[in-house]
Amino acid sequence: MALNIEEEVFNKYWRVLKLARTPARDEFTKIALVAAVGIALIGLIGFVIYELMFILPN
């Protein structure tokens, strides 16, 4: 019984992996750029909040 469930799960994962493909260079570059901009934006917001908390109490 347990082996049958594990085999079904494995088959589902294998089906997804067969459909997956490696992104093209330009697609990867766009995804990396969007992720980097998002990380930088969140970091900038955090820095602004930190600076406001440091300046305003004085």
* DSSP state, residue 23: P
* DSSP state, residue 24: P
**Whole-structure pTM value:** 0.64
| CA atoms of 33 and 22, how far apart (whole Å) | 17
1-58 pLDDT, tens digit each: 567 888 899 999 999 999 999 999 999 999 999 999 999 999 999 999 999 999 988 6
The residue ranges of every structural domain in the chain are 23-58
pLDDT at 50: 96
pLDDT at 1: 58
